Structure 1
Amino acid sequence: MAGLWSFSGRHRILHLTWFAFFLTFVVWFNFAPLATAVQADLGLTEAQLRTLAICNVALTVPARIIIGMLLDRYGPRLTYSCLLIYTAIPCFAFALAQDFGQLVISRLALSIVGCGFVIGIRMVAEWFSAKEIGLAEGIYGGWGNFGSAGAAFTVPTIAMAGSFLAAGQANWRLAIALTGIVSAIYGVIYYLNVSDTPPGKVYERPASSAGMEVTSQKSFWALLAMNIPLVGILGVIAWRLTKVGFLSQTGLYVTWLLLMALYLFQAYNIWRANKPLMTGQKRYPAEERYKFSQVSVLEIGYLACFGSELAIVSMLPAFFERTFSLSAALAGGIAASYSFMNLIARPGGGLISDKIGSRKWTMTVVTALMGLGYLLMSGANGDWSLMFAIGVAMAAGFFVMASEGATFAIVPLIKRRVTGQVAGNVGAYGNVGAVAFLTVYSLLPAGEVGDRIFFQMLGVVALISASLCAFCLREPVGSHEDEPEGLAHSGVAAQVYGQGQIDP
Structure 2
Amino acid sequence: MQEDYKGNKQILFLSTLAFFVSVMVWFNMAPFNSTIMEQLGLTKDEMGVLMLVNLALAIPGRIFMGQLVDRFGPKNVFSVLLIVMSIPCFIFALGNSYWQLLISRLLLGFIGASFVVGIRMISEWFPQEKSGLVQGVYAGWGNFGSASAAFSLPVLALIFGGDNGWRLAIASTGAIAFIYGFVYYKFVEDAPPTREFKRTKSTKVMKATSFPDLLILIATSFPIYGGMAVLVWSLQRTDLLPLGWALGLYILLGIFYLHRSTKIWLENRAYLKTNIPNEEKYSMKQVGVLSLAYFSTFGGELAVISMLPMFFQETFTLGAIGAGMIASSFAFTNLAARPAGGWLSDKFGRKKMLTGLLFVLSILYFSMSFLSAQWPIILAVMLTMSCSMVGQAASGSVFSMVPFIKKKNTGQIAGIVGAYGNIGSVCFLAVLNLVYPAVFFSVIALGAFLCFISTCLIKDPSLQEEWDKDKESIKRLQKKVRYSSDVKQNI
The answer to whether the superposition gives a TM-score over 0.5 is: yes
1:381 counterpart SS class: coil
Number of the residue aligned with 1:134: 132
Instruction: Measure, in 1, the Cα distance between the counterparts of 2:18 and 2:464.
Output: 27
C-alpha RMSD of the superposition: 2.4
Is contact 1:216–1:277 with CA below 8 Å preserved after alignment? no
Question: Which runs of structure 2 are paired with 1:436-451 in the superposition (5 Å)?
Answer: 436-444=427-435, 450-451=436-437
**Pairing 1:148-163 to 2, within 5 Å after superposition:** 148-163=146-161
Partner of 1:74: 72
Check the 8 A contact 1:22/1:144 in 2, yes or no.
Answer: yes
Equivalent residue number for residue 389 of structure 2: 398
Q: Which residue of 1 aligns with 2:141?
A: 143
Q: CA deviation at 1:203?
A: 1.1
Counterpart amino acid of 1:412? P
Question: 1:196-234: CA deviations, max 9, x gaps?
Answer: 000031111224421112211221121111111101221
**Stretch moving more, 77-86 or 331-340:** 331-340
**1:275: Cα distance to partner?**
4.3
> 2:41 matched to 1:40?
no
- AA aligned opposite 1:34: F
Could you report, residue by residue, the CA deviation over 1:330-360 in whole angstroms, capped at 9, with x for unpaired residues?
221221122011111110000000001x211
Q: Which residue of 1 aligns with 2:341?
A: 349
What is the rounded CA distance, in whole Å, between the counterparts of 2:379 and 2:286 in structure 1?
Answer: 37
Match of 1:472 among 439, 445, 457: 457
1:288 to 266, 280, 284: 280
Residues 278-427 of structure 1 correspond to what in structure 2 (within 5 A)?
Answer: 278=272, 280=273, 282-356=274-348, 358-427=349-418
Shift in Å, 1:422: 0.4
TM-score, L = length of structure 2? 0.91
Deviation at 1:247, TM superposition (A): 3.8
Q: Superposed, which structure 2 residues align to 1:174-323 within 5 Å?
A: 174-243=168-237, 247-271=241-265, 273-278=267-272, 280=273, 282-323=274-315
Mapped partners of 2:58, 2:333: distance in 1:
23
Q: Which residue of 2 aligns with 1:119?
A: 117
In structure 1, distance between residues paired with 2:361 and 2:28: 27
Match of 1:58 among 56, 60, 82: 56
Distance in 1 (alpha carbons) for counterparts of 2:404 and 2:450: 23
Shift of 1:386: 2.1
CA distance in 2, matches of 1:102, 1:285: 51
Q: Distance in 2 between matches of 1:480 and 1:8?
A: 20
5+ unaligned residues in a row in structure 2: which ranges?
A: 476-491
Q: Please say if residues 49 and 240 of structure 2, whose CA atoms lie closer than 8 Å, have aligned partners that are also in contact.
A: no
Work out whether 1:463 is the aligned partner of 2:449. yes
1:128-173 deviations in whole A, cap 9, x for unaligned? 111111111111111111112112211222222232xx23xx4222
* Distance across 2 between alignment mates of 1:79 and 1:203: 14
User: What residue is the counterpart of 1:494 in the other structure?
Assistant: none
Which amino acid in structure 2 is aligned with residue 484 of structure 1? K
The CA deviation string for residues 259-278 of structure 1, in whole angstroms up to 9 with x for no partner, is 22222332244246434324
Pair 1:309–1:461, CA change in 2 (3 A): same
SS at match of 1:484: helix
Shift of 1:486: 6.4
Percent of aligned positions that are identical: 40
Deviating more after overlay: 86-95 vs 297-306: 86-95
Structure 1 residue ranges (4+ consecutive) displaced by more than 6 angstroms after TM superposition? none
Larger radius of gyration: 2
Answer whether contact 2:71 2:201 (CA < 8 A) is retained.
no
Unaligned ranges ≥5, structure 1 = 445-449, 491-504
Counterparts of 1:482 and 1:150 in 2: how far apart (Å)? 42
The DSSP-based 3-state class of the residue aligned with 1:341 is helix
Q: Deviations over 1:226-269 (max 9, x none)?
A: 11110122122223333455543332222222222222332244
Does 2:91 align with 1:93? yes
Shift of 1:480: 5.2
What residue identity is the alignment partner of 1:433? G
Q: Which residue of structure 1 aligns with residue 480 of structure 2?
A: none
Give the alignment's TM-score, normalised by structure 1: 0.88
CA–CA separation in structure 2 for the residues paired with 1:244 and 1:380: 27
Q: Please report how far the alpha carbon of residue 413 of structure 1 lies from its aligned counterpart in structure 2 after TM superposition.
A: 0.2
Cα separation, 2, equivalents of 1:341 and 1:366 = 16
